[in-house]
Amino acid sequence: MLALEGTVLAVQANFYRVMLDQAYRLELLDESGQIFSQFVNELLCTRRARLKKIGQQICVGDRVIVEEPDWQGRRGAISDVSIRRNLLDRPTVANVDRILLVFSLAEPSLDPHQLSRFLVKAESTQVEVLLCLNKRDLVSDQMWKLWRDRLLSWGYEAIAISTYTQQGIDQLATYLQTGVTVVAGLSGVGKSSLINLLIPDLQVRVGVVSQRLGHGRHTTRHVELFALPAGGYLADTPGFMQPNLTVTPPELANCFPEARQKLASGNHCHFHNCLHRLDEPDCVVRGDWERYNYYCAYLEEAIAYQQKLKNTANADASLKIKDASEGKHQQEPRLLKKRYRRESRRSEHQNLDTDDR
């Protein structure tokens, strides 16, 4: 049975667009009966019933195995999903190499609190974060230098671009030539316009900024990977205003480059479980750095998130390790107990004993 490897480009309903690692030549007949060759490197696939039964989710960016390709109909069936290196929760994209945060210097103006929230969310994924500021043509050189120096103090070297004058587009493209890059940011900052410049043959719908609300409308409805001309993939994601923070208090400090630098200086907090609050003694993180107030505000959310995790009982792990061929191991979702597992006789007897009492 022919098995092919590929990457999931898009998920729509119960179908998956898969880009194959290798293009296959297909010989066809034209109207005059002449044979001509055509290369196929993309298939529209469904997933095997076994994957559906065990609850295996297939996401954009997943590395998959495709069986029984129908070259004439450009169809196939996904039979297996490789272990993911990572998985973003919002947007749901697997095997991400970097996050490209796109914000605008004007229309809408750059909000430090909103930008910090996106940066913390991106840092929590533990992948490379690249910051890009669009609409450079709408602000003065002095304003750009102020923001550049301010962001450097945060620990980020921002790239200034303009989708109108195409300033900085070539410089940005050099960072995206390998791996999967997820583009994220507010609506109306120019993400779709940027993608159209990076991939000229692609025409992504572009929206406008509302003068009344000060932000754009969502023009991207679902996540999709686009192949870049020089290599690599770009994922356009729906814009949103307020990303949710899913970090615990011990993880939060690592989401701020300023705090990481203080912790890496060789000094240590007095308490090993220090949360770096104002009232904690001998804390090396607490200080007069600009975003410390943001850290304190996000800390309350992190504490609430940690409590939520504790309240969510999960007696049975959602994944199990299964031995595969050639001595390799792969993760596989566990079957749902209520639907696919029969209760053991010992458990049945224990329940009967409890009822008798």
Instruction: Determine which helix (DSSP H) or strand (DSSP E) holds 56, and give its type and residue range.
Output: none
- Residue 272: both structure tokens together: 């090993």
Quote the pLDDT of residue 24.
85
CA-to-CA distance for 131 and 269, rounded, in angstroms?
A: 30
Band (147; pLDDT cuts 50, 70, 90): very high
Q: What is the pTM of this model?
A: 0.78
How much is the pLDDT for 220?
47
Confidence of residue 218 (pLDDT cuts 50, 70, 90): very low
Neighbours of 209 (CB within 10 A): 18
135-144, 187-196, 306-315: the lowest-pLDDT one: 306-315
Q: Is the pLDDT of residue 269 over 50?
A: yes
Least confident of 29-33, 263-267, 313-317, 336-340: 313-317
Letter string b/e over residues 173-184, b meaning 16 or more CB atoms within 10 A of that residue's CB: beebeeebbbbb
Only one residue has tokens 């750009």, namely 144
- pLDDT of 39 reads 83
Cis-peptide into 91, omega within 30 deg: yes
pLDDT value of residue 154: 96
- Model confidence at 18: pLDDT above 90: yes
How many angstroms separate the most distant Cα atoms in the chain?
85
**Secondary structure (DSSP) of 153-197:** HHT--PEE-BTTTTBTHHHHHGGGSSSEEEEE--TTSSHHHHHHH
> Using an 8 Å Cβ cutoff, are 330 and 81 in contact?
no
User: 289-331 pLDDT, tens per residue?
Assistant: 999 999 999 999 999 999 988 887 554 455 666 655 555 556 6
Mean pLDDT, the chain, rounded, equals 84
Residue 54 has pLDDT above 50, yes or no: yes
**How many angstroms separate the CA atoms of 129 and 143, rounded?**
23
- Rounded Cα gap, residues 148 and 138, in angstroms: 15
